[in-house]
A and B are shown apart, each in its own frame.
Chain A
Amino acid sequence: MKTKWFYTHIIQPLAPHLVLLAYTVIAIFPVVLIIMNSLKSRKAIFAHPFQPPLPGTFDLVGYETVAQRSNFQWYFANSLVVTLVAMFLILFTGAMAAYALSEYKFPGNTLMGLYLALGIMIPIRLGTVSILRLVVAMKLINTLTALILVYTAMGLPLAIFVLQQFMRQVPRELKDAARVDGASEYRIFWLVLPLVRPAVATVAVFVMIPIWNDLWFPLILAPGESTKTVTLGAQQFLGQFVSDWNAVLASLTLAMLPILILYVIFSRQLIRGLTAGAVK
């Protein structure tokens, strides 16, 4: 009897926490280790890698090297421009297309929906040979514009697919009432858009991550110094400074930080979106 009590009151409630805690450590420890050691002196990195930076070992020399030897601030600016503009284009044109598909019955509606959804399953990278030729022909090689356009095409299929589901849920009466009042179709779209704001925000987070993190297209379409994104810049900088551990750890931290900060701010939104989207 006593073992049963012990099982239901101690083991059962505790077991999930033990497993989850253990895996949380596995998930977080490498990240924490890098950030922690980026703030320490070279000697301390090797002598006491598991210690947090203490007054005796605290050192920003890695960050100083990165600031002097690389153009990280430019890379940040490039990544920011590419991600934000592509995100805006995906959300705006995607919402328009999703609205048309969910609102109007026209011949070829289903076909159009399928056509626009094709890209969810086919990785855009498979078309890279022709994308490169196209970008060269358009004289867009080594420009942020090329990246923006490619990323917009890459993000659109999923954005349209998800936004469509949400736009269907906007009550019809609302739109019809606006029509009776003489509103144009464009005006009604502007009325609907704020109503699906949560969905738009979720899609925004979804499409942002792969764009910010991508290495493939910057490497192929915009490898020039002035158009490097953070991901490519970090990759190349890290490749050159493999032996300078302070610089490597500092640049890794710098490259992670924006995403981690955004994630902390938007994690609830993102997780809600993930869980809501999957139920459908």
Chain B
Amino acid sequence: MEKKTPSRRRKPFPTHIIVFLAPATIIYTVFMIYPLLDSLRLSLYAPAASGGEMFVGLQNYITLLTDELWSPRFWGALRHNFVFFAIHILVQNPVGLLLAALLSSRRLRWRATYRTLLFTPTMLSFVIVGFIWQLILSPLWGIAGTILHTVGMGQFFKPWLGLESTALVTLSLISVWQFVGIPMMLFYAALLAIPDELIEAAYVDGATGWTVFWRIKFPLILPTVGIVTILTYVGNFNAFDLIYTTQSALAGPNFSTDILGTFFYRTFFGFQLQLGNPTMGATIAGMMFLIILLGVLLYLFGWQRRIQVYEI
């Protein structure tokens, strides 16, 4: 009886597999994969004079990269995206690593409380975070100014969000403030997974906390460093909400905070007097797709394959 059951079961058409897979696959395909592919297709079309759309090949991409109306905006937005990304890599991830290292230190009290509180900003929406910081940095309310004055650095206060030279960096740091919890948690989890015996043995051999961290713990969590980096990279192209909230779709002052997300939105949806241009919008999305793909491939082949993964 027991032997027969599996062989008898294998024969009928596996309807149940299809029933299990169908709902998710259909929703996912219709509302995610199809739009993504259709968007790529649209990027090869342009509005025709007779109405409708006509196939133009790669013309939109050429326009985007070289036309004097489009290309400065595009390259500017791309550059801002990379500044945004660089600040996250240079500030968010080291701070996240530091906090994670401290949180995972042995016999730390109030660990759960710290964890919960440190992660709180990550739960809030960009809109709320944007407004909170707009209020705090506002010269009208003067919170930031007062704080700087009390520590004797009052002369450094400026309306950072309103100045072309500082707005992008300020927004990046606001985003770092919000999202530092994610690298912190990922690093923290990786650090917790390191067996205690390994650490104990090193301490017994007379290693200091500093050496243990850089010689033992850090090499072991290198894979997580890679994951955090690629997550930061991809997330960076989603960073529309914060800039839209604080600087509007025009990404002011004078486009100094314009990233690909806001550029994409203005182009395809239109803003104020500017009419929406769906095919050029799709082209920008296509470029973003290529840039993301490039980053992911670099990560998969350049990083993940090269680093030594230690079995623990």
Q: Which of B120, B132, B288 has the most CB of A within 10 A?
A: B120
By a CB distance below 8 angstroms, the chain A residues around B74 are none
By a CB distance below 8 angstroms, the chain A residues around B227 are 278
Of the listed stretches A54-62, A65-73, A154-162, chain B binds A154-162
By a CB distance below 8 angstroms, the chain A residues around B278 are 129, 132-133
Query: B70 within 8 Å of A by Cβ?
Result: no
Smallest Cβ-Cβ distance to B227: which chain A residue: A278
Q: Nearest Cβ in chain A — how far from B45, in angstroms?
A: 11
Beyond A23-B118, A49-B143, whether A93 also contacts B23 by CB under 8 A is: yes
Smallest Cβ-Cβ distance to B143: which chain A residue: A49
Q: How far is A184 from B30 in the complex, measured between Cα atoms in Å?
A: 30
Query: B263 within 8 Å of A by Cβ?
Result: no
A274 touches B186 (CB 8 A): yes
Of the listed stretches B57-65, B77-85, B108-116, chain A binds B108-116
Interface positions, chain B 13-70, Cβ under 8 Å from A, are 14, 16-17, 19-21, 23-25, 27-28, 30-36, 38-39, 42
Beyond A20-B102, A94-B24, A122-B289, whether A30 also contacts B38 by CB under 8 A is: no
B186 touches A267 (CB 8 A): no
Q: Nearest Cβ in chain A — how far from B272, in angstroms?
A: 14
What number of A residues sit within 8 Å (CB to CB) of B? Answer: 94
B132 touches A276 (CB 8 A): no
Q: Mark A174-205, 1 if CB is under 8 A from B, else 0.
A: 00000110001110010000000000000000
Query: B169 within 8 Å of A by Cβ?
Result: no
Query: B131 within 8 Å of A by Cβ?
Result: yes
Interface positions, chain A 22-66, Cβ under 8 Å from B, are 23-24, 26-28, 30-31, 33-34, 45-46, 49-50
Query: A143 within 8 Å of B by Cβ?
Result: no
By a CB distance below 8 angstroms, the chain A residues around B127 are 213, 215, 231, 234-235, 238, 255
By a CB distance below 8 angstroms, the chain B residues around A260 are 120, 123
By a CB distance below 8 angstroms, the chain B residues around A131 are 31, 35
B128 touches A252 (CB 8 A): yes
Q: Nearest Cβ in chain A — how far from B201, in angstroms?
A: 20
Query: A168 within 8 Å of B by Cβ?
Result: no
By a CB distance below 8 angstroms, the chain B residues around A128 are 35, 39, 264, 268, 281, 285
By a CB distance below 8 angstroms, the chain A residues around B224 are 278
**Chain B contact patch, size range:** 35 or more
B34 touches A235 (CB 8 A): no
Q: Which of B16, B28, B209 has the most CB of A within 10 A?
A: B28
Q: How far is A50 from B136 in the complex, measured between Cα atoms in Å?
A: 12
B98 touches A19 (CB 8 A): yes
Smallest Cβ-Cβ distance to A238: which chain B residue: B131
By a CB distance below 8 angstroms, the chain B residues around A114 are none
B31 touches A259 (CB 8 A): no
Q: How far is A275 from B284 in the complex, measured between Cα atoms in Å?
A: 36
B241 touches A215 (CB 8 A): yes
B123 touches A263 (CB 8 A): yes
Smallest Cβ-Cβ distance to B296: which chain A residue: A121
By a CB distance below 8 angstroms, the chain B residues around A99 are 20
Q: Mark B274-305, 1 if CB is under 8 A from A, else 0.
A: 00001001100100110010001000000000
Query: A170 within 8 Å of B by Cβ?
Result: no
A126 touches B285 (CB 8 A): yes
By a CB distance below 8 angstroms, the chain A residues around B133 are 30
Of the listed stretches B86-94, B152-160, B188-196, B250-258, chain A binds B188-196
Residue from A26, A94, A127, A255 within 8 A of B36 (CB atoms): A127
By a CB distance below 8 angstroms, the chain A residues around B264 are 125, 128
Q: How far is A49 from B185 in the complex, measured between Cα atoms in Å?
A: 32
Query: B151 within 8 Å of A by Cβ?
Result: no
Q: Nearest Cβ in chain A — how far from B97, in angstroms?
A: 12
By a CB distance below 8 angstroms, the chain B residues around A31 are 120-121, 124, 132
Q: How far is A245 from B125 in the complex, measured between Cα atoms in Å?
A: 20
Q: Mark A73-91, 1 if CB is under 8 A from B, else 0.
A: 0000000000000000100
By a CB distance below 8 angstroms, the chain B residues around A256 are 124, 128
Interface positions, chain B 230-246, Cβ under 8 Å from A, are 234, 237-238, 240-241, 244-245
Beyond A130-B42, A215-B125, whether A235 also contacts B118 by CB under 8 A is: no
By a CB distance below 8 angstroms, the chain A residues around B5 are 179-180
Q: Nearest Cβ in chain A — how far from B250, in angstroms?
A: 13
The contact sample of 22 A-B pairs, CB cut-off 8 A, is: A19-B102, A20-B102, A24-B114, A34-B132, A96-B21, A100-B20, A104-B14, A118-B33, A127-B38, A129-B35, A129-B285, A134-B38, A179-B5, A189-B20, A235-B245, A245-B135, A256-B124, A260-B123, A264-B116, A267-B115, A270-B119, A274-B189
- Mark B residues whose CB is within 8 Å of A: 2, 5, 9, 14, 16-17, 19-21, 23-25, 27-28, 30-36, 38-39, 42, 95, 98-99, 102-103, 105, 108-110, 112, 114-121, 123-128, 131-133, 135-136, 141-143, 146, 177, 180, 185-186, 188-190, 192-193, 209, 224, 227, 234, 237-238, 240-241, 244-245, 261, 264-265, 268-269, 278, 281-282, 285, 288-289, 292, 296
Q: What are the 4 tightest A-B residue pairs by CB atom distance, in nearest-first order? A: A127-B35, A213-B125, A153-B31, A100-B20
